[in-house]
Each structure stands twice: as structure tokens, then as C-alpha cells.
Structure 1
Amino acid sequence: MNINWIKVFIAAFFEVFWVIGLKHADGFWTWTGTVISIIISFYLMIMAGRKLPVGTVYAVFVGMGTAGTVLSEIIFFGESFRISKTLLIVLLLLGVIGLKVVTDDTVAKGDES
């Protein structure tokens, strides 16, 4: 796997934290964690977008972040579980995986970072 795709996946992981933080942060430390998550998330997404097609990077980033946020809300915050919501998340993830599979992730010579 290309290091730039790993950056996208880590960025999406941190996206889950900052999105949840925007809703649930209520003090200095939770807001600090939210801001740090935003910085890490966007930094990694921007770095990956320099080497990979930016439209695909953004779609994968948002899709994975959305799926992670919805699942986190169900698991940790008591959001109602509905089969229709779960099926739509699966459909979203299939689209994200499809974009990743069909995207050429070769890096130009000299751009191995």
C-alpha cells in the first residue's frame, strides 16, 4: 500500500475525533483535542493530495470519516441503530473502496515521500 493512502486513512481516523469533538466538546481539554485532531487530519489529507488525485483523496477521506463518525455515534453515544443506516454506510464504504481500487496510486519518480 502506498504511504499516501495510509495518510488518507489516518486523516479519516482523526476526522472522526474532530467531528465528534465539535458536537461533544465542553471544556478546554476536549476543545484542545478537537483542534489538534483537525490539524492532524487536514495536514495528512493535504499531504496525500499532493501525490494522489485530490478528488479521490477527498472522497475517500470524507466517506471513511462519515462512516466512522456514524458508527462511533451508535457505539459510544447511544445513537439509534437502524438497518437502513447500516446498509447505507456499507454502500458508502463500497464506493470508497471502489474509488481506491480504480485510482492509480503510482508516485512519480523522485516523489516517494
Structure 2
Amino acid sequence: MNKHWIYVLAAGFLEIGWVSGLKHADSALTWGMTALAILISFWVLLEATRRLPVGTVYAVFTGIGTAGTVIAETVFFQEPFSWLKVLFILILLGGVVGLKLTTTEPDNPEPAEGANR
């Protein structure tokens, strides 16, 4: 796994935090942390798209965020558990893994022409 896939994972996990923050923030500090998580999450996601296919990166990012948010809300915020939710999360994750397995990375590790650093 190259570092750009690690960026995608990091952005996805940050998404879990900021999505939960949007729902549960109730002070200037928690709103500030939520805003910071949004900024860092999207910056890291943009860094990943410099070397990886945008469509696949976005699908993995949203898959991690969706599944992780449902799990976090159930574990930490007592949202109701549902086996149907689990089934749909597994279907979603199966699609994300399928995209990752079928995506070929470019032979040239350099960013596309016109990409700013």
C-alpha cells in the first residue's frame, strides 16, 4: 500500500469525526474541532488524488465515512442497532474493496501535468 492510499484512509477516518461533529457539536471548541477535521480531511483527500484515480478515491473515502459513521453512532451515541444496516454496510464495503482491487495505478508516479504542489 502506498502512502496515497494511507491518505485516503486518514481522510475517511477524519470524515467519521467531522460528520459526527456536525451532529453533536455544542460549543465553540467542538465546532472548531469539527471545522478543523473538515479542512484536514479534504486537504489529505486532495493530496491522495494527485496520484490516484479520483473516482476510486472518492468512493473509498465516502465508503469509509459512511460505514464508520454508522458504526460510531451506534457504539458511541446509542443509535439503534439494525442487522439491515450491517447488511447494507457490508454491501457498500464490498463495492469499495472491489473498486480498489480493480483500479490500476499509473506507471508514472508523477502528478498529472498542471497539478499544483
TMscore range, shorter length: over 0.9
TM, length-normalised to structure 2: 0.90
Task: Give RMSD over aligned pairs.
Answer: 1.2
Contact preservation (8 Å) 1:51, 1:107: no
- When the two structures are aligned, how many residues end up with a matched partner? 111
Segments of 5+ residues of structure 1 without an aligned counterpart are none
Are 2:85 and 1:79 equivalent residues in the alignment? no
How do residues 1-113 of structure 1 correspond to structure 2 at under 5 angstroms?
A: 1-106=1-106, 108-110=108-110
Runs ≥4 residues deviating over 4 A: none
Q: CA deviation at 1:101?
A: 1.0
Q: Which whole-Å deviations, capped at 9, do the CAs of 1:17-75 have from their partners, x for residues lacking one?
A: 00000000010110111011001110011111111110111111001110000000000
Contact preservation (8 Å) 1:7, 1:44: yes
Q: CA deviation at 1:109?
A: 4.3
SS of 2:23 mapped into structure 1: helix
Identity of aligned residues (%): 52
Distance 1:109-1:59 versus aligned 2 partners, 3 A rule? closer
